Structure 1
């Protein structure tokens, strides 16, 4: 039996353009690990860190309208996690609620408190902005992520969304949490 990684101090800060390569590595490896068995394996295998980093740089350069990208660094300054939060997307419209668009942790740091630190800072920023509720979408079959969010006070609100990857349905469920903003 292996023990979970030790909880190490992490520092959460706003992402910089220079972080895009590392964030893409974390994101792609996160998908390939967390979604194994939930999405078609050829799709996961074809994910490319370099292409993702190029896309991430382009998105980062034009992101605004309340979208915040955060990274978590370990004690040596290495980026070990990434989160992105902003206004809730209802189709093309943005609402007054907050949405956690993404949260990924370096696969070797899972269970070390990195995700909690990123989620905590995301919630804090949304509360400070006066948002009353945070929403997020998670793959229905991703029980590990669902437990993580449930421990943080999120609960499924009954909304489901069809998500199709290479012709395979991969349903998502929406989670919500009230904020004290």
Structure 2
């Protein structure tokens, strides 16, 4: 298998990241979300949203991509944890997607490791996952634990946390 490289996302990666996000959602959320919602996801709309978000000068978000053999195969996004509209001292993993064709090849683990490494100044990293996916097990293996917070009615989400500092 070719070497996996994690690097900062570039504007030119927006289309490929959108493809990964859309195919990743359709794969991970099949049977959990209404199929019409998944079918309605648009790579073009997502790419446009990525470009607009990516080019905001005041955006505190870090975007990373995983690249193998010159092709982007995964994407992660982190930034300050959002408590409503307030940004906190904690970090949040906003999203992590691997191309479904590359699941189980270390893409997600490598992206998560780099996201954690870039967030060590924050006391904790938090994230939200859909309860009935494979994601909870993935994050638990990486040291995250549910903290009791839940959200969502028809598609339950659970918040996970990992302490970054020894004092947590």
Task: With the length of structure 1 as denominator, give the TM-score of the two structures.
Answer: 0.88
Residue aligning to 1:137: 128
Q: Render the CA deviation track for 1:109-136: whole Å, top value 9, x for unaligned.
A: 0000000000000000001xx1110000
Residue aligning to 2:161: 176
Task: Please list, as runs of the form range in 1=range in 2, the aligned pairs for 1:106-145 lying within 5 A after superposition.
Answer: 106-127=99-120, 130-142=121-133, 144-145=134-135
Residue aligning to 2:136: 146
Task: Please list, as runs of the form range in 1=range in 2, the aligned pairs for 1:26-105 lying within 5 A after superposition.
Answer: 26-62=20-56, 64-74=58-68, 76-105=69-98
Cα RMSD of the aligned pairs, angstroms, is 1.3
Q: Render the CA deviation track for 1:114-160: whole Å, top value 9, x for unaligned.
A: 00000000000001xx1110000001111x11110000000100000
Runs of 4+ that moved beyond 6 A: none
Q: Which runs of 5 or more structure 1 residues have no equivalent in the other structure?
A: 1-5, 164-168
Q: Render the CA deviation track for 1:70-127: whole Å, top value 9, x for unaligned.
A: 00000x2110000000000001000000000000001100000000000000000001
Q: Which runs of 5 or more structure 2 residues have no equivalent in the other structure?
A: none
Task: Please list, as runs of the form range in 1=range in 2, the aligned pairs for 1:156-171 lying within 5 A after superposition.
Answer: 156-162=146-152, 169-171=154-156
Give the deviation of 1:9 after TM superposition: 2.2
